[in-house]
Structure 1
Amino acid sequence: MTFLPESVQEYVGLNVTMRLRQLLLLCVAILLGIFFVSVYLTSGAGGLDPPSISFPSGHADSGVGSGEQESSLIVRRLANDRQDGGTNGVPRPGKDALPVEAEREKCQFIHIAVVCAGHNSTRTAMTLIKSLLFYRSSPLHLHVLADGPAQLILTTLFDTWDVANLSVSYYLTDKVKSFIDWIPNKHYSGVYGLMKLVLPHILPEDLYHVVVLDTDIVFASDVAELWRLFEGFSDQQALGLVENQSDWYLGGIWKNYKPWPAKGRGYNTGVILMDLPKLRALNWMAVWKRVTERDLPIMQSTALADQDIFNSVLKDFPEMVYDLPCTYNAQLSDHSKSKELCLESQTGFKVIHWNSPKKMQVKHRLGRYYRDDYLTFVAHDGNLLRRGVLGCSNMSIEERESGVIFDESCYDFERLADLKFRTHLYFIDYDYRSGGPTDLTLVAQLSFDRLQMLEPLCDHWNGPISLALYMTDAEAQQFAEFVLDSEMLSSRRNIGWHIVYKDGAVYPVNYLRNVALSQANTPFVFLTDIDFLPMYGLYDVLKDAIVQTDLLNQETKALVVPAFETQRYRFSFPANKSELLPMVASGDVIAFRWDIWPKGHGATNFSRWMEATSTYTVEWEPDYEPYIVVNRNVPRYDNRFGGFGWNKVSHLMMLAVKGYELIVLPNAFIIHMPHAPSIDIAKFRSKSQYRKCLTRMKQEFVRDLAKVYGMKATKYLIS
């Protein structure tokens, strides 16, 4: 063993003793520091003063807060959408307050409210939402004040869009109309243009902040930047608004026009930051109503809807408003001075507002530049926005599918059974109510390359139509322009145009059929394809046949409409069966696919039909796929079948298993018009793997049929 010299041992011992003393002193200092900090905090020092505003008692938001520490907890609760219900106190994010940590954490929800009513408004709302999702860095919670049609459309859209870190709440406009329908409004938005006034009344009482937006807005920045401006509100400021950028409230636009009262230039209400507890504490509903009742006898009506009333209130209570930077509501109307008042002193606009009835056709010097930005979001593939906020809790589509095992060789087919296709119902205005117990809707689907069939179809069929259209976002915009530019199509309000956005390599034909079928609001449906033109007057013929065949009382009957085809692009369409028969005899018209796929329609028995004067019943046969009239409660198509092959065959097999009786109509027909082969037909004919996958799906379908129906399905499985 090695021993240290005595002098060295003494040195080492002294060093250890000194270090122990230093450590002891450090511990004492830490304990004293903790003590003084606790005394400091409990004494109320450090700027954590209680709010200076007194709120009325007896309200869920009426308690007086205990400072910014409690404020941070409250905001965090609200941002996380918790419904604890025990919150006592309203935070005061004044200018001298500490930063609200919860609002700066990117995984806290930002709350956004919009009013969306009618079919067409949902299109502009989607462009707004795309821009929000594109730039966002935080989860979003949308509060949508909608009428019945808009709620149906948006519910379906968001459910099928399946965007991560996005939640939606709905509030029906019918429940709040009575609050504002007594106010005459000349604005093109009608009664819905006044509904932002009632948001503090209808939004959840434990919601603290909300950004209120018009739907004709597009973002060019992260909405979180706008959200953080709440931190700048003083005790009295409850509304954040951008100054109006025209001379409207200065009276400098039209002669002999008297604007509503306003503070200076007034404020534009396309973008509003609302501090809801403060507004409720001020009894907001009573305040704006009292001001409106005072000014309405003089003004007679509102010209700019809720904006006039907001400005009149702020004229009386200017301390309520927080002036937002002009870039957060760049107004592009005919008379806007947004370039002079805002752009020349800023680096660019963060929020663009098309606040004119002309929208993108507005005559504004910046209109062309920002129109391109707007159209970029219109055409942007919304499927790319499904991703969540990086770092926030989220289950992606890939994670949900991770437990499903797909055969890579048939992946595109197998995923069809469970894939959610983003679906926008009633893309264009629709207004039709069923015309009686025998009314029926023509149901079909199409892609962008079949748009040329729409006008001929509408010429032949004057009844209601439900169409599912498979398109990209850019094609959907072109389609809308196509319809609105067509005098025939734009005049029809009984056509439901339902957009299903492209996703994947296989045309989801049965998914499309199910979408169109689900939106038929008549007792009966005529299931056909877009390439067929009905005989003139078929709508009335079928309604009569429904009565004659007692389809009203027997749901398990299907009326077969015989299908023919022609290879001539130009020919005189037969008005009735008498004109059709000579064309069949000459070969100008033949039974559909008789020359290449006789099984498809052979069971209709065309030779018998040529001479028939009354209905007759036919039996199901393998591969039979007629076009039929059935009750709208008919079983849906099997979504597994996409592309070309067996999509209608499987459906009719299902009906046969369920005991449907097939009745051929003697005086009805449709004719298939010539067109170029689809991509899926080309794939079927050229790729063996495509055919193998189709065979596999057939086998799976019949096995599933046997599992459900047992012996009843034996006949169909053997065949």
Structure 2
Amino acid sequence: MSHNLVSDGYSKWRVWKISILILILLTAYNVFLTIKLMTTTTDCPESQENILDSIKFRQPECGEDQQPDQDPFEPDEPRIGSEHQDQLVEKYQLNLNLKLGRSDNRIAYTLFDHVIVGDKFVQLSDTFRTCLATQSSLDKIVSLVESSLHWAGPISLAVFAGSEKELNHILLFILYLRKCNSRIKDKVSFHIAILKGNGPKRFSIDEERLGRLSCMNPMANMHQLMMEINNNRMMGPWRHKLPYPQNLLRNLARKNCHTKYIFLTDVDVIPVKGMAEGLNEFLAEDKCRGKCAYVVPTYEVDERVLFPENKTELIRMASKGLARPFHHKVFIYNQYATNFSRWQNFKDPDRTIRVSHPVTNFEFLYEPFYIATDDVPPHDERFVGYGYTRNTQVYEMFVSGYEFQVLSPIFSCHWGLQVKKNRPPWREHQNNQNRKLFDQFKKEIFAKYNKDPLHMMVSKNNKN
């Protein structure tokens, strides 16, 4: 009996001792785990709850570099890596970082100066007195091929890209033109404007396609790119849904010229051969005593003929109905004040550029292509799309005291005899919108100069 009691007591004591030992071990293990968790910061748990699962935020995998400044609310989508863009920038000498452009005056667009610079652009700017400043979208940029053949001086071209795809195609086509045309590669400095906020966030260049594009047919290549942008339509929907910022681009192009004088044109207005050289001589002896703008007569020419080599040939074409003053049938007031009859009848003693006559019948809506110093008033960038873009700027020049003088025997040409029925209806809509803006514009011009030489401030009732 006593033996059983001793045995029971020993068993209880052993269980109690083992329990104490287990408790000590558990306590020590808990202390160890606590210390480890407090001192370890680099190991990732095998799984963890994600409080942002509902917005599809991807947590970094264990061992993956953290991205503390990544926006967790940004959708996870394929991206063109910055490293790839850096490679393109270096390879093609692109001055393009879409995060570093400057804003326009209305903070509606982002502008990039000298994105691709002609190899001899700086040298030509030092040699010639006049820079050809022009603007374009992708559908007309091919006109540079002919302009660069005729114009020996520097060319400043501003281009608008309405979407990321359009930007990529524009860069591709510019590089293609530089690859295939040494004159463009040497002379042209390209600038780009995109929408601010909703514009492209990245860019890429299809280098494989660039290598395949044939230099034999730039027009066909341009048309193919336009078709891709606009879903198999040559004229893109952005022309009416996203009006083309002509005046913004004109200011961008002229401000990136580095010569004293600017010849401001549209990209499809082609100068006659030898104009830049002739202007060097004429402007060296510029005898203007006040504010002068030198008008270059502009004609539209039938596409079935060759570009006229000189004034005599142009006049012969005009006599046969193969050439006529620019916009003569579409909107006669566009160039009417130039007085083309007087210019054609002026007898040039030689090929030296001289003033044939002054513009004496200036009227509103006149919008000549002219050469002037870059202190002329800027183009008002509120006028977007078509209508009241160039003529408002020329009107301000006139009010501020500029004289317009017509030069001979130089001229410029636009391909195609234009007729009004070929114009899409959305252009008239844009024209009507800009007409409404003009009511405010003319009041501002009157307040600025305190002049109203064309009686723009007189009401229709008072006129009657």
TM-score of the superposition, structure 1-length normalised?
A: 0.41
Q: Could you tell me how far apart the structure 2 residues matched to 1:224 and 1:424 are?
A: 34
Counterpart of 1:270? none
Counterpart of 1:194? none
State the structure with bigger RCO (CA 8 A, min sep 6), 1 or 2: 2
Query: How big is each residue's C-alpha offset from its partner over 1:644-703, in whole Å with a ceiling of 9 and x where there is no partner?
Result: 11111100111011111111002110011139999x95245654xx45422211111101
Contact 1:653 1:716 in 2 (8 A): no
Counterpart of 1:470? 160
Q: Could you tell me how far apart the structure 1 residues matched to 2:271 and 2:434 are?
A: 30
Counterpart of 2:297? 562
Q: Could you tell me how far apart the structure 2 residues matched to 1:642 and 1:594 are?
A: 23
Q: Could you tell me how far apart the structure 1 residues matched to 2:409 and 2:253 are?
A: 26
* Residue ranges of structure 1 left out of the alignment (5+ in a row): 1-45, 48-94, 100-134, 138-222, 229-347, 362-377, 387-396, 398-415
Counterpart of 2:409? 667
Q: Could you tell me how far apart the structure 2 residues matched to 1:608 and 1:706 are?
A: 32
Counterpart of 2:452? 713
1:606 to 331, 340, 351: 340
What is the CA distance between 1:621 and its match in structure 2?
1.5
Counterpart of 2:191? 498
Contact 2:129 2:283 in 1 (8 A): no
Q: Could you tell me how far apart the structure 2 residues matched to 1:595 and 1:462 are?
A: 32
3-state secondary structure, aligned to 1:225: coil
Counterparts of 1:270-285 in structure 2, within 5 Å, are none
Aligned partner of 2:390: which letter?
K
What is the CA distance between 1:351 and its match in structure 2?
7.0
Contact 1:458 1:489 in 2 (8 A): no
Q: Could you tell me how far apart the structure 2 residues matched to 1:575 and 1:351 are?
A: 50
What is the CA distance between 1:602 and its match in structure 2?
0.9
Query: How big is each residue's C-alpha offset from its partner over 1:390-419, in whole Å with a ceiling of 9 and x where there is no partner?
Result: xxxxxxx9xxxxxxxxxxxxxxxxxx9724
What is the CA distance between 1:473 and its match in structure 2?
2.6
Q: Could you tell me how far apart the structure 2 residues matched to 1:468 and 1:505 are?
A: 17
Query: How big is each residue's C-alpha offset from its partner over 1:288-320, in whole Å with a ceiling of 9 and x where there is no partner?
Result: xxxxxxxxxxxxxxxxxxxxxxxxxxxxxxxxx
Deviating beyond 3 angstroms after TM superposition, the runs of 4 or more aligned structure 1 residues are 95-99, 348-361, 434-438, 675-678, 683-687
What is the CA distance between 1:463 and its match in structure 2?
1.1
Q: Relative to 1, partners in 2 of residues 1:713 and 1:437: Cα closer, same or farther, differing over 3 Å?
A: farther
Q: Could you tell me how far apart the structure 1 residues matched to 2:88 and 2:42 are?
A: 44
3-state secondary structure, aligned to 2:322: coil
- Greater shift, 419-428 or 521-530, is seen at 419-428
Q: Relative to 1, partners in 2 of residues 1:490 and 1:357: Cα closer, same or farther, differing over 3 Å?
A: farther
Q: Does 1:584 align with 2:344?
A: no
Contact 1:438 1:547 in 2 (8 A): no
Counterpart of 1:481? 172
Q: Does 1:575 align with 2:316?
A: no
Counterparts of 1:373-452 in structure 2, within 5 Å, are 418-431=106-119, 432-433=121-122, 435-436=125-126, 439-452=129-142
Contact 2:262 2:374 in 1 (8 A): yes
Counterpart of 1:640? 382
Count of residue pairs brought into register by the alignment: 335
Q: Could you tell me how far apart the structure 2 residues matched to 1:351 and 1:594 are?
A: 51
Q: Relative to 1, partners in 2 of residues 1:466 and 1:589: Cα closer, same or farther, differing over 3 Å?
A: same
Counterparts of 1:141-540 in structure 2, within 5 Å, are 225-226=66-67, 353=83, 418-431=106-119, 432-433=121-122, 435-436=125-126, 439-471=129-161, 472-486=163-177, 487-488=180-181, 492-502=185-195, 505-540=242-277
Q: Could you tell me how far apart the structure 2 residues matched to 1:700 and 1:647 are?
A: 14
1:617 to 354, 358, 372: 358
3-state secondary structure, aligned to 1:715: coil
3-state secondary structure, aligned to 1:525: strand
TM-score of the superposition, structure 2-length normalised?
A: 0.62
Query: How big is each residue's C-alpha offset from its partner over 1:93-130, in whole Å with a ceiling of 9 and x where there is no partner?
Result: xx86799xxxxxxxxxxxxxxxxxxxxxxxxxxxxxxx
Aligned partner of 2:408: which letter?
P
Contact 2:399 2:453 in 1 (8 A): no
3-state secondary structure, aligned to 2:131: strand
Q: Could you tell me how far apart the structure 1 residues matched to 2:334 and 2:85 are?
A: 55
Q: Could you tell me how far apart the structure 2 residues matched to 1:671 and 1:349 are?
A: 44
* Residue ranges of structure 2 left out of the alignment (5+ in a row): 1-33, 44-55, 59-63, 70-77, 200-240, 349-353, 459-464
Contact 1:603 1:624 in 2 (8 A): yes
Q: Could you tell me how far apart the structure 2 residues matched to 1:350 and 1:599 are?
A: 49
Q: Could you tell me how far apart the structure 1 residues matched to 2:257 and 2:79 are?
A: 44
Contact 2:265 2:369 in 1 (8 A): yes
Contact 2:261 2:374 in 1 (8 A): yes
Contact 2:158 2:253 in 1 (8 A): yes
3-state secondary structure, aligned to 1:493: helix
Contact 2:112 2:191 in 1 (8 A): yes
Contact 2:135 2:159 in 1 (8 A): yes
Contact 2:388 2:435 in 1 (8 A): no
Q: Could you tell me how far apart the structure 1 residues matched to 2:329 and 2:88 are?
A: 54
